[in-house]
Amino acid sequence: MLRKTDPSHEPIPLTRRGMLQGSSLLIGVLSAGSALAPFVPSRTWALELSALDEGQARIVMAFIKHLYPHPSLDDAVYALVVKAVDQKAAADKATRLILLEGIGHLNAIGNGNWLGRDVALQEIDVRALEGTPFFSYLRVTSVNTLYNNPLAFKHFGYGGEAGDTGYLYTGFNDLKWLPDPPPSASGPIPKDD
């Protein structure tokens, strides 16, 4: 669980490559002008994989982007879902089998290269799997991970932990495109003693 938005913490699982010889990596670069750029220490991100290999991780990534398509959401956020999926697969054999079966099925459809398939066809493949354990597992993990991290909070405009100290002096009532309610409906702003 990543909770801190403080840029001095590493908000995405960015790891220096040199330290990771021998393990599989999923690597990406934040898109140019990504809104997340100010919040991460480097534009390159890398996810160290434990159970999946890189090709499998890329299929999972593509699949969840079909499930929850946000054209402007950076891959770095989707990679957090891949990370959760990979970690569960490493810890739990049943999950690993569900994933391998699903990925194998997709690759079989795509003659060994599902990622090479036309995107519109991929989408049909995804829909056809609804109700399978593979689909359900990825859907649930996505919905619980994709929107539950500080990078997503930035992207979608949720304040997250920043609200802990309160918005009383930082815009709780700053909406200007509608008239303010009268004092009879809305009470006074408290004065600090």
Partner 1 sequence: MDQENTNKIQFEKNDDSVVVIIGSGAGGGTLANELAQQGIKVVLLEAGDWHTQTDFIADEWPSFTQLAWLDPRTTSGTWRVAKDFPTLPAWICKTVGGTTVHWAGASLRIQPHELQTRTVYGDIPGANLLDWPITRADLDPFYDLAEKKMGVTRTNGIPGLPGNNNFKVLYNGATKLGYKEVSTGRMAINSEPRDGRTHCYQRGFCFQGCRTGAKWSTLYTEIPKALATGKCEVRAKAQVVRIEHDAQGKAAAVLYFDGEGNLQRQRARVVALAANSIESPRLLLLSASAMFPDGLANGSGQVGQNYMRHLTASVYATFPNRVDMFKGTTMAGIVGDEARLDPKRGFVGGYHMETISLGLPFYAAFLNPGAWGRAFTNALDQYANTAGMWIVGEDMPRETNRVTLNDTTKDQFGLAVPNVHYDDHPNDVAMRDHAFAQGAAVYQAAGAKDVYLVPPYPSTHNLGTCRMSDKPRDGVCNKFGQTHDVKNLFISDGSQFTTGAAENPTLTIVTLAIRQSRFIAEQMKQGTI
Which region, judged by CB under 8 A, interacts with partner 1, from 12-20, 24-32, 105-113, 174-182? 174-182
Residue 14 is a binding residue for partner 1 (CB under 8 A):
no
Give Cβ neighbours of residue 50 (< 8 Å, ≥ 6 apart): 23, 86, 87, 89, 90
Rounded to a whole number of angstroms, the minimum distance from the CB of residue 64 to partner 1 is 10
Q: Whose CA is closest to 4, among 167, 157, 153? A: 153
Residue 120 is a binding residue for partner 1 (CB under 8 A):
no
In the complex with partner 1, the residue whose CB is nearer, 91 or 189, is: 189
Distance from C-alpha of 78 to C-alpha of 152, rounded to nearest angstrom: 9
Radius of gyration of the chain (CA): 21
In the complex with partner 1, the residue whose CB is nearer, 70 or 105, is: 70
Please count the helices (runs of H) and the strands (runs of E) in the chain.
6, 2
Residue 188 is a binding residue for partner 1 (CB under 8 A):
yes
Residue 68 is a binding residue for partner 1 (CB under 8 A):
yes
Residues 142-171 contacting partner 1, CB under 8 A? 142-144, 146-148, 152-153, 156-161, 163-168, 171
In the complex with partner 1, the residue whose CB is nearer, 113 or 170, is: 170
Q: By the 8 A CB rule, do 28 and 75 touch? A: yes
H or E element, residue 143:
helix 133-145
- Residues near partner 1 (CB under 8 A): 1, 3, 67-70, 139, 142-144, 146-148, 152-153, 156-161, 163-168, 171-175, 177-181, 184-190, 193
